[in-house]
Chains A and B, each alone.
Chain A
Amino acid sequence: MSKATQAIVDLLADEFSDIEFAPAPLVECKNKEREQLCVRVPPDRLLEVMRFLHDDERCCFGQLSDLTCVDYLDFPNARDRFGVTYTLVSITLGHRLWVKCFVNDPDPEVPSVTCVWKGADWPEREVYDLFGIRFTGHPDLRRIMTWEGFEAHPLRKDYPLHGRGEREDFKVVTREDA
């Protein structure tokens, strides 16, 4: 286990003693020094923890490298359905941390982190578009990949691969029209 990341997890446990972070390695490695850690944060405490990670000089996570989501439908031993995943990088201190925030149907809601990292704007719109997770406090939560009026959230596991007729739903243009 990487010492720097372990120090940050300890710091988090000190600061927020009421949260069960459950740190676990992303991938098990033979070389424990190389392992990267992932912590769980409940959605109602997310903003607080993210602010701390961004502002504290021992964490100093200045960059939100990635913001994505995983659908754990039918996943073995999964307790929750959606895991919104934040990849944090500290350029100044050179360490990384993954934060997962689990939410469930029917109304998955996560606070937006655009007030902490401005770059979260478009990734959050993407997650909203493809998974249907609402980011409360987002300045402009619109679809970004599909168009306005598209109803489904295509990266959910229960969405059929061939869609629900979207790819057949077009006017036929013939030579008579032209």
Chain B
Amino acid sequence: MGLGIAGASFQASKEDFLTTRLDYVVDVIRKHGVNWTRKNSLWPFPFATACCGIELMATGASRYDIARFGAEAMRFTPRQCDLVICAGRVAIKMLPVLQRLYLQMAEPKWVISMGACASTGGVFDTYAVVQGIDQFLPVDVYVPGCPPRPETLLEGVMAIQRIVENDGVRSSEERGRGMRLAVQPTVRVGLGEREESKS
């Protein structure tokens, strides 16, 4: 992106420098529009119905800290949110609730289907559990795992950020029925590294 710094003099005074930075900011906003700010300020709706919700809480807590990705402002009303994180199995009694809160959210909005149960029904192949919310709801990102580790969920949030950055806010017709991306964790933290560094 054109930073507007190349042409700036190196003997710039303080005032010049400030102007240059302002140029930069204006440029970024002009080029990336509102998406750059929007992707760093996702407001998730924690639709936590089962054990995935515990991992969602861990993702929000200090160790993994979803605030690093600007998505720490979780609200319990769909009217203030733009990202549903559906964490856990959805019973047949719960699906109409999920659909209604999705309809109540203002555009733009995205959906993460977190964990095996929300995505496929998981091991709960019974009359009472919906076998994948994507049958009845547009899902943007699937986060696999049973339950997914917080790193995987963060990768899912980053996938949403990439969607927001690249596609931005488009009308409902353009966006169709969701992106249907599945994420894999990019960062693996294991004991092995620590043991290697000791020896």
Contacts and interface: CB of A to CB of B under 8 A. Distances in A.
17 contacts: A147-B93, A160-B127, A161-B125, A166-B127, A167-B127, A167-B129, A167-B130, A167-B131, A170-B135, A171-B136, A172-B136, A173-B136, A173-B137, A175-B172, A175-B173, A178-B102, A178-B103
Given A162-B126, A173-B137, A174-B138, A167 B177 contact: no
Interface in A140-178: 146-147, 154, 159-164, 166-168, 170-178
B99 A170 contact: yes
Contact of A178 (B109, B135, B176): B109
Interface in B92-117: 92-93, 95-96, 99, 102-103, 105, 107, 109
Nearest to A165: B127
Nearest to A162: B127
> How many interface residues does chain A have, given as a range?
20 to 34
Contacts of B175: 175
Given A175-B175, A178-B105, A170 B127 contact: no
Interface of A: 146-147, 154, 159-164, 166-168, 170-178
Contact of A163 (B93, B127, B138): B127
Contacts of A167: 92, 127-131
Contacts of A166: 92, 127-128
Given A163-B128, A176-B172, 6 more contacts: A166-B92, A167-B127, A173-B99, A173-B136, A175-B175, A177-B103
Contact of A172 (B103, B109, B130, B135): B135
> Which of A162, A167, A170, A176 has its CB near the most chain B CB atoms (within 10 A)?
A167
Interface of B: 92-93, 95-96, 99, 102-103, 105, 107, 109, 125-131, 135-138, 172-173, 175-178
Residues of A contacting B: mostly: loop
Contacts of B125: 161-162
Contact of B138 (A147, A159, A170, A173): A173
Contacts of A162: 125-127
Given A171-B136, A172-B135, A175-B172, A146 B177 contact: no
A160 B175 CA distance: 38
A50 B2 CA distance: 85
Nearest to B177: A174
> Which of B95, B109, B127, B135 has its CB near the most chain A CB atoms (within 10 A)?
B127
B92 A173 contact: no
A168 B128 CA distance: 10
A161 B178 contact: no
- Give me the 6 closest cross-chain CB pairs, A-B, nearest first: A163-B127, A175-B172, A170-B136, A173-B99, A175-B138, A172-B136
